[in-house]
Amino acid sequence: MDWFALTIIALSFDVLYKLVTRIFSVKSKDIRTYTVVFNFIASILVFIYLIFFVRERSFIINSKSLIILLLASLLYTLFCWFEFRAYRELEASVMSIFSKVTPVITFIASVVLLDESVTWEKLLSLLLILGPMIWLNYEKGKFKWHKGYVYAFMCSLSLGIVRILDKEISNYLSLLLYSFITYFIPSLFLAVFPKPITLSKLKKEVSVIGWKLILLHSFINVILFYTLIKALSLGEASKVTIVFSVSSIIAVLVAIVVLKEKEKLWVKIIAGILSFIGVILLKG
C-alpha cells in the first residue's frame, strides 16, 4: 500500500475520531477517568501488535534519548489532559478548525529552537490559520472566549511542541514502541496525579460509555496514528500533511450534518477552507 492510500485511511479515521471523541466527551461523567481508560486500552492494543506482529524492536538508550522520551511523555500527558476537556466544551467542527493551530506551534518552535527560516508564505499561512480562530470567536462587535478555547489551545501547544520530539526520537527507537510509551505513560500518570483514581470510578466510567465503545474509540485512534506514521515513512512529509489536512474540512462538514452543529454554519465552512490553505502554504 502506498503513502497516498495510507493517508486517505488515516484521514478517514481522523474524521471518525473527531466525531466519536466529541460524543463520548460529552457523555463522560469524569473526563480524567475516561482519558486514563482510553489511553490504557490504546497502549494494550499497540503492545499486542508489537509482541505478535513486529519482529524487530530496536532501541538505543542513552541520556539524550531518555530526556527526549521524558519530555515527550510529559507533553503527551498534557495533551491528553486537555484534549477530551476541549472536545467536551467545543463542537467537533470547531475543534477541527482549532487543530490546525498545531502546525503553527511546530513552525514557531522550529524557528526558535532549530533556527529554521521565515518566509512570507509562512507568515501568510499563520494569518490564514489563526485568522479563522479569531473570526469564530467574534460576535456582535466583541470576542467571546471561554475555557474550551483555552483547552483547545493547550492541546495544540503541547502537540505542536512534541511533534519536534517525535521526529528526533525516531533516531533512537521504533515509532510503534514510542507510541506504546506515549499512550501508557500518560494513562499511568493521570491515574495517579493529582490523586489516585479509585476502582469504583473506573468501573462507573466504563459502565457509562461501555467497554466495547471505549475499545472501539481506542482502536480508531491507534489505526489513525499507525497509518499516518506509516504514510510519513513512505512519502514526503509535506505531501502527506497536505492530503491529511483535508480531514479538517471533511470533519467540519460531517459534524454539521451528523451532529447538527449548524451554529455559524458558513463561518465554520469558510474557516475550515482558509485553515487548510494555510497548512498548504506552511508546508510548501
Q: What is the pLDDT of residues 211-229, one digit of tens each?
A: 899 999 999 999 988 888 7
Residue 105 near residue 111 (C-beta atoms within 8 A): no
What is the predicted pLDDT for the residue at 134?
A: 62
Residue 12 clears pLDDT 70, i.e. is over it: yes
Residue 233 clears pLDDT 90, i.e. is over it: no
What is the predicted pLDDT for the residue at 35?
A: 92
Does the pTM surpass 0.85? The reply is no
Query: Which of these, 14, 5, 10, lies nearest to 248 by C-alpha position?
Result: 14
Instruction: Report how far residue 249's alpha carbon sits from residue 246's, in angstroms, rounded to the nearest whole number.
Output: 6
For residues 5-19, give the mean pLDDT. 89
Q: Please, what is the Cα angle at 167 between 237 and 114, to 5 degrees? A: 95
- 111 or 238: which carries more pLDDT confidence? 111
Three cell numbers written together for 25: 466527551
Q: Average pLDDT of the chain?
A: 79
Three cell numbers written together for 116: 529554521
Confidence of residue 45 (pLDDT cuts 50, 70, 90): very high
DSSP 196: P
What is the predicted pLDDT for the residue at 229?
A: 75
Residue 201 clears pLDDT 60, i.e. is over it: yes
Residue 141 clears pLDDT 80, i.e. is over it: no
Distance of CA 48 to the CA centre of its chain: 22
What is the predicted pLDDT for the residue at 258?
A: 73
Instruction: Report how far residue 177's alpha carbon sits from residue 226's, in angstroms, rounded to the nearest whole number.
Output: 11
Residue 128 clears pLDDT 70, i.e. is over it: no
